Structure 1
C-alpha cells in the first residue's frame, strides 16, 4: 500500500504575520547497498517532493539543518548536494529557503581557528552562490577549538563581514548536540547570551535574525527583548512554540522548527489565523500539538529525527521507514507507537487507514502483535 498526499491545488497566499521555516528531513534510499559508515544514500525525488509539500502550505524550508541529520548520517558532501538541489527547486516553485552553513567538512577535531573559519567560508560561498539565505550553524569544531568568548567574536566577525546578505545566527543547545556545550565561550548561559548579543550588535544590518534552540521559553523571551530593532527571533523551541509565536505585548517570535516538518499543515493554518487577527483559533489549532512535540523531542533530544521520519512515512510522504545512518533504530517501538497514537489523535494523517496499516506492519516486524 502506498499513498502520496497531494498538496493544495493552488499555492496559498504567503504567511504575513510571522516568518515560518520548517527544518526538513531527508529521505534515505532504502535500495542502496550502504553501511552506516558509508556516505548517505538519498532518495532525491522523495526528498524534494517533501519540500514542495512544505512550500505548498506556505512555509519556508530550512535546509541542511540538524533535522536533515547533519552530523548524524549526512556528511558535508551530501549536505552540499542537498543545498544545490533544494535551492534549484525553491527557485522553480518560488519557495522560501534558508540553508545551514557549518564546518562539518573538517574531519579531525585537531583543527585551528583558521581551519574553522575557512570551513565556514567554503559553505557560506556555496549557500550564497545558489541564492539561499545562510544560517550560520553552531560548529562542533569551533566549540572544541575556541579558547573563550573572544574567539567566537573574532570568528563570527570575519564571517559576517564576508556575508553578502543578512544571515540567521543559530544557537543550538547541548540537548540537541552535546558537543556544543559551552557555546559562545561559556557554560554560564547569561555570559553566553551577552557574547551572542555582542556579535549581533557589532554588525548592524548583517543579521536577519537568530534561531534559539535552548528549550527555555523564559530565556528566549528575555533574549528576544534585547535584540536590536529589525533583528528577528526565530524560535527553535519545540516545547513552547505556540506561546512564543503568539507573543506578548512586547513582541513575538517567528519560527524555525524541526517539529513543523510533521506539523506543516496545522502550523500553516494556525499562522493564517494570526494573519486574520484570530489568536483564539491559533491556539486551538497549535496548542494540542505540543504533547506530540514534547514526545518526539524527549531526551535524548537529538534523536527526534527518528519520530519525524516515522510520521512522514505514516503520512504517505515516503514509501519506507529507513533513515541515513540506520537512525530508524534510534527510538524504541513503544516510543514510536506513542508518536503514532498522538499524531492520529491530531488527524495528521491524510489517509488514516494507510497510517494504521503501516504502524501494524512495523509492530509485526518487531514481533509485537498490535
Structure 2
C-alpha cells in the first residue's frame, strides 16, 4: 500500500508548464530517486511535496491525509539541500538541535537526540565545532542529522552531493543509503547523476519535459528501458538507425547490411527503428585471427568490422573506440585481461548477440551511412 501519493500533479509558472500530470505512489520505507536532465521538473516535484510550491492541479496525500495545501512548516518532512544551509554562528550540535528547539522539546531530550544523531552520521566528536571548521562532507552529514532530528515521516534530498568531490560523494551516498535503511525511512532523492541513482535507489523515476518517462527498479531501468529517452539518458549505448526487414526473424536493415535482434512482435515490417547495444555487450576479435575466421561461420552473433582509433583505460575495463566507416564510431568495454591483446590501428571485428539489442520504434526516417555489419 502506498504511503505518499501524487495524483495528476501539474505545476505552471505563468505560461510555462514545469510539471504535467504526474502520478506517483511511494511505499513506506522506500528510497525513490527522481532522475533527469536539468529543467525536467524533478526539483519542482520535490518542492511541491515539501510544501514550498503549491500544485496548480492535483493532490498530494501522505499516510491517508491530503496535504496539498498544508504549509511546509506543518508537514512531517525533513529537507536536505544542495547547499549545506547550516547556520554559521551555531555549532554542529546547535544546528542539529534547532528544529527540536522550535518544537520546544525538553533540553535533556534534545541533548540526547543530538548525541545519537552525531553518532549515526559518524561525527560523534565534532559536536562543538562550527561549520567553517568542518569539511564539505562533514557539513552535509550535519545537515542530514539536522533533517532527521525532527523525526520526519519523509526525507527529501535535493541533489545533496553535487557540491562534493567524487570520492566524498561515493562515501556519503553510501552513508545516506545506510542511514535510510537503518531507520526504514521513506526518502525521495533528486539527482541528475545516473551512477548515483542506480547505486542507492529502490526505484528510479526517469523524468523529461515535466513528465515521468519510466519508473522502475534500477536493474530494469538500465537493462529494459521502455523508451528511447530512457535508453539514451541512462548509460552509454551504440546506436543504429535502421528498418525492420523481418519482424518474425528479428532482422533489421542498417544500410545494406543486416542486424539480428530478438523477434520484434510489437513492430511491423518496414517500420523505422533505433537499435541500441550497450558497450559491455560488445566483444572484440582480431579481424585477421584464426579465431575470428573460425567463429564467423558457427555463431548467430552480429559482426561489424572496423579499426581501433582510441583506447581509454577506465579502471576495471578498457573502452575501445572503433571506426567502422567514415561516419560511424562504435565503442566496446573490454575486461583488462583481454584488452591487452588490442592496439590502436588494429583491424577488429565487433561482435554482439541478438539478445544484446534493444530495439525501439523510431520516427527517424533517414538511415545513416552504411555500417559494415557482416550477416550472421
Q: TM-score, normalised by structure 2?
A: 0.34
Higher relative contact order, structure no. (Cα contacts within 8 Å, ≥ 6 residues apart): 1
Larger Rg over CA atoms: 2
Q: Structure 1 or 2: larger strand share?
A: 2
